[in-house]
């Protein structure tokens, strides 16, 4: 059995990517269980609203209403996924690399949800403003804001502290953060595409062979697959968590400090043992 991944560690770009896949593999079952139990309501609601939006696309009023609800519940759903994954890894670290139970994750989720939701909302406004002013400031802020939620959850920071800490960590590490999020985002998009193609081929083939209009089934299938694919965001979120700890280690030397403390404790134990024997 491979050694459990330690979150607090010094990592470069390749280490972050490699450990991301190992960490997900080691915690696959408990992580997915926490995801479906906690985010299940958000997921089901998003699927239903997406399906109703497709059904009422010909009615302008209903289309606008369900379109608005779709955006709102998408934000709720994304926030739930972010918080569930981050809470899982925070407790994983606190328990000494042992996967937490669903109830332990739920305790963190319940405590932080509305704080993180408000933060996501403000970050989105800031990102839109940055893009409107100029494209690059928007991209720059987007990378910085990606660290705000991890800081808030892992360090129990308030909004002001989390934003300031994000700018501090990103200084000198913007390209590393961009590369990590970009590559894991591309991998996530490719996996979504791979999952979407087979059902759509089956749907298209069935409609062609039967000669019947199966648009309703297609709308439902599309809504289900698009919302279920959100589970793949576990990939970039895990990478982001490892990136956070790598940046913390670089800026604050946490790993080195822990090693020095451990070395000191071992020395003390050895000295005590010698004295007792004497």
Confidence at residue 138, expressed as pLDDT on a 0 to 100 scale: 78
Contact 87, 153 (CB under 8 A): yes
Q: What percent of the chain has pLDDT over 90?
A: 41
Q: Specify the DSSP element, H or E, that contains 162.
A: helix 159-170
Other C-beta atoms within 10 Å of 19: how many? 20
Q: What angle do CA 205, 211, 216 make, to 5 degrees?
A: 75
Q: What is the pLDDT of residues 220-253, one digit of tens each?
A: 777 777 777 888 899 999 999 999 999 998 877 6
Mean pLDDT confidence for 14-27: 93
- Whether the pLDDT of residue 277 is over 50: the answer is no
Mean pLDDT of the chain: 81
**Segment 58-72, tens digit of pLDDT:** 667 777 777 788 778
> What does the DSSP assignment read for 54-123?
HHTTT-HHHHHHHHHHHHHHHHHHHHHHHHHHHHHHHHHHHTTS-PPPHHHHHHHHHHHHHHHHHHHHHH
pLDDT at position 18, please?
93
Average pLDDT over residues 1-21: 87
| Eight-class DSSP state of 233 | G
Q: What is the pLDDT of residue 200?
A: 72
pLDDT of residue 204: 67
Give the largest Cα separation in the chain, rounded.
Answer: 92
Answering whether pTM is above 0.85, one says no
What average pLDDT score do residues 125-136 get?
77
- The residue-averaged pLDDT of 160-176 equals 91
Q: What is the pLDDT of residue 212?
A: 56
Question: 4-8 contacts: CB < 8 A, separation 24 or more?
Answer: 4/97, 5/97, 6/97, 7/89, 7/92, 7/93, 7/97, 7/241, 7/242, 7/245, 8/93, 8/245, 8/248, 8/249, 8/254, 8/255, 8/258
End-to-end Cα distance, the chain:
41
pLDDT for 147 beyond 50 = yes
The secondary structure of residue 7, as a DSSP letter, is S
């Amino acid at each position: 059995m491979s050694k459990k991944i330690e979150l607090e560690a010094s990592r470069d770009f390749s280490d972050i990517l490699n450990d991301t896949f190992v960490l997900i593999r080691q915690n696959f079952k408990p992580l997915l269980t926490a995801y479906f139990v906690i985010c299940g309501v958000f997921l089901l609601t998003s699927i239903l609203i997406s399906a109703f939006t497709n059904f009422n696309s010909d009615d302008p009023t209903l289309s606008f209403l369900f379109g608005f609800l779709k955006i709102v519940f998408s934000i709720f759903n994304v926030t739930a996924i972010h918080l569930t994954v981050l809470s899982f890894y925070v407790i994983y670290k606190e328990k000494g690399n042992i996967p937490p139970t669903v109830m332990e994750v739920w305790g963190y989720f319940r405590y932080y949800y509305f704080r993180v939701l408000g933060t996501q909302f403000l970050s989105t406004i800031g990102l839109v403003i940055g893009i409107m002013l100029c494209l690059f400031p928007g991209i720059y802020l987007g990378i910085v804001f990606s660290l705000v939620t991890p800081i808030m959850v892992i360090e129990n920071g308030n909004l002001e502290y989390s934003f300031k800490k994000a700018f501090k960590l990103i200084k000198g590490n913007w390209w590393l953060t961009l590369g990590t999020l970009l590559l894991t985002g591309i991998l996530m998009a490719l996996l979504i595409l791979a999952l979407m193609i087979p059902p759509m081929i089956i749907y298209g083939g069935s409609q062609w062979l039967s000669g019947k209009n199966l648009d309703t089934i297609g709308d439902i299938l599309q809504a289900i697959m698009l919302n279920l694919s959100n589970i793949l965001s576990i990939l970039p979120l895990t990478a982001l968590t490892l990136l956070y700890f790598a940046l913390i280690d670089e800026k604050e030397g946490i790993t080195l400090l822990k090693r020095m403390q451990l070395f000191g404790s071992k020395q003390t134990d050895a000295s005590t043992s010698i004295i007792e024997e004497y």
